[in-house]
Structure 1
Amino acid sequence: MVTAPEGHPSQDAPPAIAVRGLGKSFDGTVAVNGVSFDVPVGSFFGVVGPNGAGKTTTLSMVTGLLRPDAGNVWINGVDMWADSLQAKKLLGVLADGVRLFDRLSGRQLVTYAGLLRGMDRETVAERTDDLLRALDLADAGDKLVVDYSAGMTKKIALASAMIHAPRTLILDEPFEAVDPVSAANIRSILHDYVTHGGTVVVSSHVMDLVQRMCSHVAVMARGNLLALGTVDEVRQGGSLEDRFVDLVGGRSSGEGLSWLHTS
Structure 2
Amino acid sequence: MLSIRNFSKSYDGKPAVKQINLEVESGEIYGFIGHNGAGKTTTIKSIAGILDFEEGDILINGKSIKKDPIACKSIMAYIPDNPELYDGLSGIKYLNFIADIYRISSERRMELIKKYSEAFELEANLGDSISSYSHGMKQKLAIIAALIHEPKLLLLDEPFVGLDPKASHILKTIMREICDEGGCIFFSTHVLEVVEKLCDHVCIIKNGEIIKDGTVEEVVGDQSLEDVFLELAEHD
2:165 counterpart of 1:180: yes
- Which position in structure 2 is the counterpart of 1:244? 229
Length-normalised TM-score, structure 1: 0.86
- Which position in structure 2 is the counterpart of 1:195? 180
Residues 75-123 of structure 1: CA deviation (Å, up to 9, x unaligned) = 0111111111111111011123452112111111111111110122232
Distance across 2 between alignment mates of 1:27 and 1:81: 21
Q: CA deviation at 1:140?
A: 1.3
Distance across 2 between alignment mates of 1:87 and 1:118: 16
2:149 counterpart of 1:164: yes
Tell me the SS of whatever aligns to 2:205.
Answer: strand
Contact 1:151–1:179 (Cα < 8 Å) also in 2: yes
- Which position in structure 2 is the counterpart of 1:261? none
Residues 28-51 of structure 1: CA deviation (Å, up to 9, x unaligned) = 321111111001111011111111
Q: CA deviation at 1:182?
A: 1.1
- Which position in structure 1 is the counterpart of 2:107? 122
Q: For 2:69, which of 84, 99, 107 is the aligned residue?
A: 84
Amino acid in structure 2 at the alignment position of 1:113:
I
Where does structure 1 differ by over 3 angstroms across 4 or more consecutive aligned residues?
A: none
Distance across 1 between alignment mates of 2:132 and 2:195: 30
- Which position in structure 2 is the counterpart of 1:139? 124
Distance across 2 between alignment mates of 1:77 and 1:64: 15
How much is the aligned-residue C-alpha RMSD, in angstroms? Answer: 1.3
Distance across 2 between alignment mates of 1:139 and 1:159: 14
Higher RCO (CA-CA < 8 Å; seq separation 6+): 2
Length-normalised TM-score, structure 2: 0.95
- 1:36-55 aligned at under 5 Å gives the runs 36-55=21-40
Amino acid in structure 1 at the alignment position of 2:174:
I
- Identity percentage over the alignment? 33
Contact 1:105–1:141 (Cα < 8 Å) also in 2: yes
Distance across 2 between alignment mates of 1:31 and 1:44: 24
Amino acid in structure 1 at the alignment position of 2:13:
G
Higher gyration radius (CA):
1
- Which position in structure 2 is the counterpart of 1:96? 81
Contact 2:26–2:179 (Cα < 8 Å) also in 1: no
Distance across 1 between alignment mates of 2:84 and 2:149: 20
